[in-house]
């Protein structure tokens, strides 16, 4: 199937994103897309196998959230360079190696950017950090089960959930069966 083509026009712009309107063939209403830069999510485990999370206030949700370390891919950076920078800025940790697990879209209906998900094993506190810590971002070492994290009401960002499920699918994390006593 050949995708329909339509010209789009920028109808709103900010330093963070632009909104474009396009008139699809056969439609009497425009469809809107949001263009923004790609971003990275880092699924980082320390030497004990504990997951690194960040806790911060998110204005869109108007509350504190728990998420995986993440950030924008800035102009001139590769996604891996951005992942290393964000891991250091948000958690104060560094990794010898990063493995790209997957890329996905936050919403194929509205967003044009991609999310790059990286896995880092055996991360450690940076002795000579290459980047300053980001203000207002608290590093949390999650020592409990993956199920307890998924049940935590502060952990509700779809991108972090998607990254965790990609890690489970890749065999990097395991969901433990829930045992019920009879």
pLDDT at 21: 95
The ranges assigned to domains in the chain are: 1-35, 39-169
8's enclosing H/E stretch is strand 8-13
CA angle 10–12–17, rounded 5-degree value: 95
Q: Is the pLDDT of residue 178 over 70?
A: no
Where does the pLDDT of residue 182 fall: very low under 50, low under 70, confident under 90, or very high at 90 and above? low
**What value does the mean pLDDT take over residues 22-47?**
93
Inter-residue contact 70 to 159 (CB < 8 Å): yes
pLDDT at 105: 95
pLDDT at 130: 87
**What value does the mean pLDDT take over residues 9-21?**
94
pLDDT tens-digit map of 110-163: 999 999 999 999 999 999 988 999 999 999 999 999 999 999 999 999 999 999
Q: Is the pLDDT of residue 18 over 90?
A: yes
CATH for the 39-169 domain, from 3.30.70.260, 3.90.79.10, 3.10.129.10, 3.40.50.2300: 3.90.79.10
Q: Which residues share a beta bridge with 19?
A: 12, 34
The burial class, CB within 10 Å (0-12 / 13-18 / 19+), for 150 is middle
| CA 51 from centre of chain | 14
What is the radius of gyration, based on Cα positions, of the chain?
Answer: 19
| d(C-alpha 168, C-alpha 173), whole Å | 5
151's enclosing H/E stretch is helix 146-151
Residue pointed to by tokens 């002795």: 127
Q: Which residues share a beta bridge with 156?
A: none
């Amino acid at each position: 199937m050949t995708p329909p083509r339509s010209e789009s026009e920028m109808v709103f712009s900010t330093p963070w994103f632009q909104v474009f309107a396009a008139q699809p063939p056969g439609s009497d209403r425009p469809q809107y897309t949001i263009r923004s830069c790609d971003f990275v999510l880092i699924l980082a485990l320390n030497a004990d196998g504990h997951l690194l999370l960040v806790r911060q206030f998110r204005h869109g949700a108007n509350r504190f959230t728990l998420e995986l370390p993440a950030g924008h891919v800035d102009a001139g950076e590769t996604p891996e360079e951005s992942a290393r920078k964000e891991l250091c800025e948000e958690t104060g940790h560094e990794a010898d190696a990063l493995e790209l697990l997957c890329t996905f879209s936050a919403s194929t209906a509205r967003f044009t950017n991609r999310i790059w998900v990286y896995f880092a094993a055996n991360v450690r506190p940076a002795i000579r950090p290459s980047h300053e810590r980001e203000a207002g971002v608290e590093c949390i070492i999650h020592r409990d089960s993956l199920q307890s994290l998924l049940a935590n009401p502060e952990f509700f960002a779809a991108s972090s959930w998607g990254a965790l499920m990609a890690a489970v699918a890749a065999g990097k994390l395991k969901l433990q069966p829930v045992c019920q006593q009879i």
